[in-house]
Chain A
């Protein structure tokens, strides 16, 4: 065993990035999809699903709207590498700028390694064990997605890729074909969990693959808050992230999904997140997007039950060379449903921040109420912000409110803070953090602190 490890280490140490890529098969074909399913010892229906998804992926064109994806070479992506999925091979391979950011964020070394995907998992912490015992007592299942498929196939099958069908778009299909890892969360009826479910996932490298699938079922009357991600950049060997999140919020349940995403600056982050919200249930999306080259992310709530409601709160920061094309999608498909969308974007150094929203009110959604508010902060002349709100209102009884603002940092505010001894970049970061405070205050403290520090880092060397 020790001998094996030594052998591996010497191999890895000698490989640089290019060597590694040359040895690993890139591109996607049926044989690879079959191999993934076989290695994971999946049930037959999953293989069928994967192959069906592959076919759709191969047939579907890239989206005809949104950011330019022409530089994304889908034949050059490594879709599955069992031993080192989505991870750098060693700490030495993690780019210096990412290591520096970890240091500046004050993340402990051990955790840095996990976040970079080169460390061991941290499942053995006391906190996690206590949580696990409590969950077990309440019937909560909180599991790695691959394991959940093995241990709870009957729970997984009826839901898997139903809210997020593989026909949705090319990257949903791709996800269906090659998904690996992720999270399964099941909250039984009436169980209310006050503390955000989070610690485990910050520490769990498996939750951080590039095609991870998150499936969450919140039964009637249950309540929970799940948070994933971290403001620190996540480093993947490949430049494509196409994760999938599906959430089922049953009658009278309440669920909040918070995520903070920060991919390395060459990554394409093409994520799909959808929730089906039933009668009198409430779904909340809270999201922060930093990093990546291009992000396309529009969490979607499908309000299928009467009086179902959804809140979508989001922050996107587009810095030099980045496009943050983010927003929200809400489908009102029942009476007296309501939705509230609040998005804030910051663009800097030539970055592009685009709010893209779609709100659809069906003819059956009598009494639907929609509120959309988008605020953009544009930090310099080079940067771009755009708002593309689409409303398809097919019921005259719906109430629609839409507000959008775009502005720069107020120079008087900046002068005021600087007159108190704060350097220009610090003062500007404070103003930006003040601007996103309505969103960050919804996050657990350590996440909001980290997000504020991330803003400070993005603001450094920017002005003056």
Chain B
């Protein structure tokens, strides 16, 4: 059964069509990597799946857990179990991390019809995730991504991933801005998250994240379409021969 089904999806920004009748699926438990050169539409796809208001869907459908979410609001998608780890997380001045994390956690729990932990139980859970990500606990007093380094921002995304506990996690260039050590920590966090009851969709330009996300399938995007698909061997071929060889 498909967890996510994208059918003939066409997307425009202003007058310009960016995605053209694009189709693919992600099964429950699966890890799928979408690779492609800059400008192929990978990031747009990630944002459209999460419901970014700047893009108009001019055709096709997005089905998630058997529900049509093509026009759903971002918060409704989040409640349904989607999560997008941003390529460039926003810096929000004046918004303290802890109240933000707790409020979004509560919103998700309420929307999912589940009981929310007390603030104390949540704090314990948060502390566990902070130490798993090798984040100092005084972090939660800082403002959301404000003056965070590139690596700190990505760790904050993975922290939010763990707290949101989605069914499908979408990573948009999760490795950008990470040095080797931070990449190692991020990789472990992704492996810690992944189990047979959830799925990953990673959008990436580079190979190096594949060390941590073992893809079941690799899709190659070019000019707003899926140009190729295959198993992990496709990634290896791209590594050797470059995008030009497959698109």
A residues adjacent to B (C-beta < 8 A) = 410-413, 415-424, 426-427, 430-431, 433-438, 464
Contact = CB atoms under 8 A, between A and B. Distances in A.
Contact of B78 (A419, A436, A464): A419
B160 A411 contact: no
Contacts of B77: 419
Given A434-B94, A435-B93, A420 B52 contact: no
Interface string B51-89: 111100000000000000000011101110001101001
Contacts of B25: none
Contact of B107 (A410, A416, A423, A437): A423
A411 B54 contact: yes
Most chain B beta carbons < 10 A, residue from A418, A419, A426, A464 = A419
A417 B78 contact: no
Contacts of B103: 422, 426, 430
Contacts of B227: none
A433 B95 contact: yes
24 contacts: A415-B74, A416-B86, A416-B90, A418-B51, A418-B73, A418-B74, A419-B50, A419-B84, A420-B108, A420-B160, A421-B107, A422-B107, A424-B73, A426-B103, A430-B95, A430-B103, A431-B95, A433-B94, A434-B92, A434-B94, A434-B143, A436-B94, A437-B95, A437-B143
A413 B90 contact: yes
Nearest to B111: A421
A89 B212 CA distance: 70
B93 A421 contact: no
A225 B47 CA distance: 48
A409 B92 CA distance: 11
Interface in B155-194: 160, 164
B104 interface: yes
Interface residue range, chain B: 20 to 34
Contact of A430 (B51, B79, B86, B100): B100
Contacts of A437: 93-95, 143
Contacts of A427: 75
Contacts of A413: 90, 92
4 closest cross-chain pairs (CB), A and B: A437-B94, A434-B94, A418-B74, A421-B78
Contacts of B73: 418, 424, 464
Q: Is the interface of A mostly helix, strand, loop or mixed?
A: helix
Nearest to A430: B95
A415 B95 contact: no
A408 to B, nearest CB: 14
Contacts of B53: 411, 415
A242 B94 CA distance: 33
B116 to A, nearest CB: 12
Most chain B beta carbons < 10 A, residue from A411, A424, A430, A464 = A430
B50 A434 contact: no
Most chain A beta carbons < 10 A, residue from B52, B53, B74, B78 = B74
A437 B142 CA distance: 13
Given A418-B78, A424-B75, A438-B94, 20 more contacts: A411-B53, A412-B90, A415-B52, A415-B53, A416-B89, A419-B83, A420-B78, A420-B107, A421-B105, A421-B107, A422-B103, A423-B75, A427-B75, A430-B92, A430-B95, A431-B92, A434-B93, A437-B93, A437-B143, A464-B73
Contacts of B107: 420-423, 426
A430 B51 CA distance: 20
A464 B89 CA distance: 23
A427 B105 CA distance: 13
A435 B94 contact: yes
Given A411-B53, A426-B103, A421 B164 contact: yes
A419 B74 contact: yes
Contacts of B111: 421
Most chain B beta carbons < 10 A, residue from A413, A416, A431 = A416
Nearest to A412: B90
A73 B3 CA distance: 66
B95 A434 contact: yes
A416 B157 CA distance: 11
Given A411-B54, A430-B100, A421 B92 contact: no
A421 B73 CA distance: 10
A414 to B, nearest CB: 8
B104 A421 contact: yes
A417 B92 contact: yes
A422 B75 contact: yes
Contacts of A430: 92, 95, 100, 103
B126 to A, nearest CB: 14
B26 to A, nearest CB: 18
Nearest to A437: B94
A416 to B, nearest CB: 4
Contacts of B95: 430-431, 433-434, 437
Contacts of B54: 411
A462 to B, nearest CB: 15
B161 to A, nearest CB: 10
A438 B77 CA distance: 33
A435 to B, nearest CB: 6
Given A430-B100, A434-B95, A436-B94, A418 B86 contact: no
Nearest to A420: B104
B115 to A, nearest CB: 16
Interface string B125-140: 0000000000000000
B164 A420 contact: yes
Nearest to B112: A421
Contacts of B74: 415, 418-419
Contact of B108 (A412, A421, A431, A436): A421
Contacts of B94: 433-438
Contacts of A415: 47, 50-53, 74
